[in-house]
Amino acid sequence: MAWCGAPRAARRLLPLLPRCAAGRRRIASCIDPSAGLTEEQKEFQSVALDFAAKEMAPHMAEWDEKEIFPVDTMRKAAQLGFGGIYVKPDVGGSGLSRLDTSIIFEALSTGCTSTTAYMSIHNMCVWMIDTFGNEEQRRRFCPSLCSMEQFASYCLTEPGSGSDAASLLTSARRKGDTYVLNGSKAFISGGGDADVYVVMCRTGGPGPKGISCLVLEKGTPGLSFGKKERKVGWNSQPTRAVIFEDCVVPVSNRLGAEGQGFSIAMKGLNGGRINIASCSLGAAHASVLLAQEHLTVRKQFGEPLANNQYLQFRLAEMATCLVAARLMVRNAARALQEELGDAPVLCSMAKLFATDACFEICNQALQMHGGYGYLKDYAVQQFVRDVRVHQILEGTNEVMRMIVARSLLQG
């Protein structure tokens, strides 16, 4: 469904959880996420913040504790245009820019980082089909994915190939007008619950040029799933292994040409890195507000913690890193939208800096809460658990450093 309009007045960030009173305080202009945005972007942000506060935050702890995949809530988000944010409108997408997308994911993540992160992966998959699929594929898959009547999973990582993705072993042997898949994928978000799987598999020789991209549908004979993984965070989205045993897929389900799969996967990940960094920004922003409120109301040694200069300095550092990370992410999003030559490196730099910095912000916010921060009654601990994995997925931050270094030394 295409983007739905919203009132122009930007809403104030509402309380994130019943125990959090951050919504009572005005957001200091120096960390205001709407700074520098156009009026239209402020509308997108306003709608996303409102949805996060009303539809996600009140359920965030329950989704985490009970490991609930909030399908109905995500479908409500899709009605606002959040199921295919940067997908073309002719197949149900919103047709927004990468910067618009970053703004939306940051806002949604203040309500539930785990759920927003899955939505970001889903959006990446739909974009890949929209961009690299032919007209028949676009019209067959994208409308139901944009409405989130169906959900998508991205299948690249394998038990033996994580950072070294080009060494993947899942094979697709051509047999007439079909491929026969054998192998498995690991750590797949949405695995088992998703309806559509964008799968990187080997149709040729070793290395990246032997990899192709196939779209599989749940229910395909030979497609099965491992047990649901037990995770530290990201508990509102299921994670399973995806297993292919003589799984027959029509050649008509291949995106692009044979051997183009690795390029498709990496182009998807450029946007995925911006998306996941944006989710980290939302968690960090929420954590700064939670810390700000706690320092104001909590008293020790006869006065509020806010009077302690050390804690003042730490809060100032958190706010400064938050704004720096936000600027880096938005700069990379613009570069990706404009298809600049250095966009992949800027995306890697933004993902590296933002996910590292935002985890430290959330972790420091927990520290400021003292023992309370370690209780599940307080939202800050969940933000810490949910953002930790952002330093690992969509390319580990060690790989991000390799990409940046290679650009510097070979450029």
Helical (H) or strand (E) element with 114: helix 113-132
- Cβ atoms within 10 Å of 54's Cβ, excluding its own: 11
Identify the active-site residue in 158, 258, 394, 398.
Answer: 394
Report yes or no: 178 and 251 within 8 Å, Cβ to Cβ: yes
H-type helices in 10-80, by residue range? 39-51, 60-66, 71-79
What are the backbone dihedrals phi and psi of residue 217, each rounded to the nearest 5 degrees, phi first?
A: -110, 145
Strand-pair category, 152-155 with 196-202: parallel
DSSP letter at 209?
Answer: G
Identity (one letter) of the amino acid at 268? G
Which two tokens mark 124? Answer: 């990446």
The residue written with tokens 């959090």 in the block is 20
Q: For residue 236, which of 42, 4, 67 has the smallest C-alpha distance?
A: 67
Task: Confirm whether 394 is a catalytic residue.
Answer: yes
Which two tokens mark 231? Answer: 């995770």
User: What residues are annotated to the active site?
Assistant: 394
